[in-house]
Amino acid sequence: MTALLSGLFSGALCGAIGYHVERINATSLSFAVAHAALAGASIGMVLGVDITVSAMFFSISSAAVLGLLFSRIHWKDLLSMVFFSFFSALALLSVYLSTTNVLATSSVSAVLWGSILAVDTFKLIMLIVSFTAFIAYLFTFRLQIDSILFDRNLAEAEGVDVYFHTAILLLFAGTAIALTLRITGGFLVFALLYNPVASAIQLSSNAKIQLALSASLGAFSALAGVAVSYVLDLPVGAAIAIVSSTVLILTLLKCVLLAH
Amino acid sequence: MGGEFGRRRNIRVELKNVRVAYSGSRKPAIENVTLSLDSGFVVITGPNGAGKTTLLETMLGLLKPYKGEAYLFGVNTKSRKVFEVRKLCSYVPQDFMKPPFESYTALDVIKLGFASLKWDKNAEERVKKVASDLGIRNLLNTPFGKLSGGQQQKVILCRALARNPEALFLDEPFSSLDKESRRVLCSLLKEYAVGRLVVAVCHDVEAVKSFADRIIRMEGGRVI
């Protein structure tokens, strides 16, 4: 039950955050944040601390740094790639330097491809709190966020603090990635961040429906992935990634068929 | 805060030896530009690539100079305080993003312009008044995506004017308007510019020169 609820909330949270991150063109930044979480989890594993805590520390710190730099530099994508390669190197180094004892633990599988068993009640509560906080943020700043999504330059010219909201969205992305990493693993967390929004964009041209679809498809993919993983005894991260990719392929097929 | 800054500071825009370049380009888009604007209808003109839009976006602080200083209502545009004074400004860009907002009505899009201000009865009345002046009152409940390019531009203009700004910045506002609509808009902007600042980038200066209080000509990134 904990695994199913975790799947439901992490899928919906990643789907909703992924939608906003994509619409503000910060996809590459969140890509860097996700790899920071992976590096944090790997380092946490080597040091013997809770991998969610270390992943959260790394992802939130990198999100804060990238959020601050977002307003000051023009070469954001290049910076994201620098962060990506640096954090990937840190993650791989940590695994390489791990002792045989560490490599034999279930933490390694949780970091790499996720594990249903790695999710406990405390992490589920953290997921629910993060989900509720994100919904509250969306309701409180709906007009400002919509204004940025409509036209970033125009919103900035009208006095909306676009950098503050970008930083907040990246911080939420960092938190969601760190919490979801336990379920999907570090390499497959993108399946829940970007596949649902890519499917939603194919299915509707209405902003509100796209957001609702992205969150729903994220939740569906995570739930179905957990179920497939349980029934077929497969790694849960891979199962979620395959389900969400299948959903995306089906929506693309639907668009192609409708176009003909 | 309404007109607090505007009343306190007559100079709404001030540029001092400003040089701006786009990322990856060695050649500055504008160079050694020094000017100050207080009120009136100001037109920026020049050939393609002269740096007109760059100058407008530098005035608003959307582009930051790497040399020289730019001030908006006395606030350096590199300072975070610029977000506060931008509440006194409105902007009409030449192009604007719209997908996936096709289902939003024209009124919804106008309301987005009040994200940093207060949306109340007065604002609603102002929107109705400006929409009538621009001839789009009957389009307010039409989905934005179903409007023509010219109508969409008028909606963005309505959003800008309804904010009741101290300084209004427009990038090629006449580009998709017919001759009569252009004349009506010029008169409206001229009237609006009394005691306030209206800056418009305009490729074809002949169409607006009889309305302009000041014309800034640009060529090769310099004011000539």
- Residue B17 has a pLDDT of 93
Mind listing the pLDDT tens digit for each residue in B71-101?
A: 999 999 998 889 999 999 999 998 876 666 6
Is the confidence at residue B152, as pLDDT, over 70? yes
Is the confidence at residue B8, as pLDDT, over 50? no
Place of tokens 């909330």: A9
Strand order in the sheet with B13-20: B30-37, B13-20, B67-72, B75-76
Question: Which among A151, A159, A205 is the nearest to B116, CB-wise?
Answer: A159
- Give the 3-state secondary structure of residue B41: strand
Q: What DSSP letter does each residue of A130-187 carry, written as one string?
A: HHHHHHHHHHHTHHHHHHHHH-HHHHHHTT--HHHHHHHHHHHHHHHHHHHHHHH-TT
- Residue B156 has a pLDDT of 92
Task: Write out the H or E segment, with its range, that includes residue B17.
Answer: strand B13-20
Sort out which chain B residues have CB atoms less than 8 A from A208's CB and list them.
103
* Stronger pLDDT, A74 or B156, i.e. the higher one: B156
Is the confidence at residue B127, as pLDDT, over 60? yes
Return mean pLDDT, chain A: 84
Handedness of CA B203, B204, B208, B209 (dihedral sign): positive
When scoring B79, B83, B94 by the number of chain A Cβ atoms within 10 A, the one with the most, hence best to mutate, is B83
> Tokens in use for B117?
């201000």
Q: Strands B197-201 and B167-171, how do they pair?
A: parallel
Please tell me the pTM assigned to this model: 0.84
- Residue B16 has a pLDDT of 94
CA end-to-end span of chain A, whole Å? 43
Return mean pLDDT, chain B: 87
**Which residue on chain B is closest to A19 by alpha carbon?**
B100
Question: Which among B24, B100, B115 is the nearest to A155, CB-wise?
Answer: B115
Q: Do A157 and B62 touch (CB under 8 A)?
A: yes
Is the confidence at residue A208, as pLDDT, over 50? yes
> Tokens in use for A205?
């041209």
Is the confidence at residue B204, as pLDDT, over 90? no
Percent of chain A with pLDDT over 90: 27
Sort out which chain A residues have CB atoms less than 8 A from B111's CB and list them.
143
- Give the 3-state secondary structure of residue A212: helix
